[in-house]
Amino acid sequence: MSRKEQFSDLLFEYAVCKRYVNREANKRTESTEKTLLNSMARDLGEAMEYMETGIDPWNYKSEASAPKRRITLIADEHLLSVLKSQQAPIEEELEANTFDEALLNDLLKNLSAREKECYLLIKQSLFSYNATADLLNISVGAVERFVIRATAKIEKKINKIIHLLN
């Protein structure tokens, strides 16, 4: 799994936030507010770059030229087994596993960029249609059409998968 796939949800959230910060910076007239918002947008961009590439943009040495460090951890297996036996049983997490993530990525890859943005903002981030339209600079009707198309594509793909399983 690539870094971009690993951080896809977070990258999406950062992109939405960066777009909003840039829009707010363009609205401001006071230089200190504008400077602060531009600094926030730059930091968000650098964080997104780090999530995509794994190379720390705040470090002047790239990962390739930096010396590699190796750390060896030595653990007492008997101590670890005692600690494990003393832990309360852990209930199964309800988080998505790699299969679920692959399935979700497969469902979303057929959507256009705008359909995906609208669908995720409405369904995942729970934005209102008006807030989504304002954020993306499109009409509310366009947001509704994008969400309807995205939902139809996802349902069609799910029905195809169910049909294959039966």
Only one residue has tokens 């777009």, namely 19
- Burial code (b: 16+ CB inside 10 Å, e: under 16) for 85-104 equals eeeeeeeeeeeeeeeebeee
pLDDT band at 81 (very low <50, low <70, confident <90, very high): low
The full 3-state SS of 62-112, as one line of letters, equals: CCCCCCCCCCCCCCCHHHHHHHHHHCCCCCCCCCCCHHHHHHHHHHHCCCC
Tokens coding 145: 């059409």
Per residue in 110-157, pLDDT tens? 899 899 889 988 888 888 898 889 888 899 999 999 999 999 999 999
Whole-model pTM: value is 0.54
Our CA dihedral for 129, 19, 8, 112, rounded to 10 degrees, sits at: 60
**pLDDT digits 0-9 by tens, 31-74:** 899 999 999 999 898 888 888 877 666 555 444 554 555 555 55
| Poorest-pLDDT segment among 21-25, 70-74, 104-108, 126-130 | 70-74
Coil vs helix vs strand at 49: helix
pLDDT band at 93 (very low <50, low <70, confident <90, very high): low
